[in-house]
């Protein structure tokens, strides 16, 4: 895929970052919707380290964006956006963190437990099989296994999903390498430190049914003089734009926040 994919016309004042890591194209529906009214970039993160992805994003934004930019990060992309903003304060006008991954270790330990509690027996069996396959050196197509695991987790993480088609380029090598490093940074408290260093306004949008605990994002955003707000979407899981009862509210909030950030 072209990197970055563009939506709307220049100047490009917004960039939407996908999750994963290793799930390029995941936020295409959001970027497409935003592109109806403003120039929007959808950059793909292809590097195998956190620093590599930060440098890659910086190069893309320097070349294509109208800086300073509004960064909209989803899931892992929210965590990456936070790191980028902490390291590049003059390049980011506003951060919008959508369904961010947990920023502190103590809040992350219950995510898998929550997911397993929501699964049927058949889903639990498939989850364990897919997880084993990802760790098996003999597995011939880990990208496909990661894709199926991702689809299963979307089922579990959603409150009332609308029918949807995803065109995602899953890359297990990116996921395994970057997430291993990111988990280590989280365990060492680095995301918490960087959250305190952010100088631009930050808005976190989070579904009340998201298995990623809201307090893990709300806590680090509190206690600062910087403009930081936390918005909970009711009856909403991890992907707000596919939620029947929350999709419209999500886009209303997002467009309002973008209007204030541009």
Length, in residues, of the chain: 262
d(CA 230, CA 112): 24
Q: Are strands 228-233 and 169-170 parallel, antiparallel or unpaired?
A: unpaired
Mean pLDDT of the chain: 94
| Segment-wise mean pLDDT, segments of 10 residues, the chain, 262 residues | 92 97 96 97 97 98 96 97 96 97 89 96 97 93 97 97 92 97 95 89 96 85 72 97 98 91 47
Surface-to-core class of residue 10, CB atoms within 10 Å of its CB (0-12 exposed, 13-18 middle, 19+ buried) = exposed
Q: Would you state the pLDDT for residue 223?
A: 55
- Note the pLDDT tens digit of each residue in 246-256: 999 999 999 99
- Spatial contact of 16 and 78, defined as CB atoms under 8 Å apart: no
Q: Which CATH superfamily is domain 5-108+163-261 in?
A: Alpha/Beta hydrolase fold, catalytic domain (3.40.50.1820)
Q: Would you state the pLDDT for residue 261?
A: 46
- Spatial contact of 210 and 236, defined as CB atoms under 8 Å apart: yes
- Note the pLDDT tens digit of each residue in 100-122: 999 988 888 899 999 999 999 99
- Note the pLDDT tens digit of each residue in 188-198: 999 988 988 89
- Note the pLDDT tens digit of each residue in 70-95: 999 999 999 999 999 999 999 999 99
Q: Would you state the pLDDT for residue 128?
A: 97
> Which of 14, 186, 187, 219 shows the shortest CA–CA distance to 83?
186
Q: Domain extents for the chain?
A: 5-108+163-261
């Amino acid at each position: 895929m072209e990197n970055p994919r563009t939506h709307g016309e220049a100047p490009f004042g917004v960039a939407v970052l996908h999750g994963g890591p290793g799930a390029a194209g995941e936020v295409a529906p959001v970027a497409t919707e935003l592109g109806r009214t403003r120039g929007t970039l959808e950059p793909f993160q292809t590097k195998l380290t956190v620093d590599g992805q930060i440098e890659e994003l910086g190069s893309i934004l320097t070349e294509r964006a109208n800086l300073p930019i509004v960064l909209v990060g989803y899931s892992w992309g929210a965590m990456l956006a936070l790191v980028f903003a902490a390291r590049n304060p003059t390049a980011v006008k506003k951060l919008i963190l959508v369904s961010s991954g947990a920023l502190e270790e103590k809040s992350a330990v219950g995510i898998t437990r929550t997911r397993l509690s929501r699964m049927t027996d058949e889903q639990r069996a498939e989850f364990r099989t897919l997880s084993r396959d990802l760790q098996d050196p003999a597995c011939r197509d880990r990208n496909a296994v990661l894709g199926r695991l991702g689809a299963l987790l979307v089922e579990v993480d959603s409150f009332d999903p609308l029918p949807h088609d995803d065109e995602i380029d899953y890359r297990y090598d990116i996921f395994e390498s970057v997430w291993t490093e990111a988990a280590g940074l989280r365990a060492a408290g680095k995301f918490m430190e960087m959250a305190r260093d952010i100088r631009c306004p930050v808005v976190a949008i989070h579904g009340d049914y998201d298995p990623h605990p809201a307090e893990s994002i709300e806590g680090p955003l509190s206690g600062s003089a910087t403009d930081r707000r936390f918005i909970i979407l009711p009856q909403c899981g991890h992907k707000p734009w596919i939620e029947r009862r929350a999709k419209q509210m999500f886009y209303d909030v997002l467009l309002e926040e973008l209007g204030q950030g541009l």
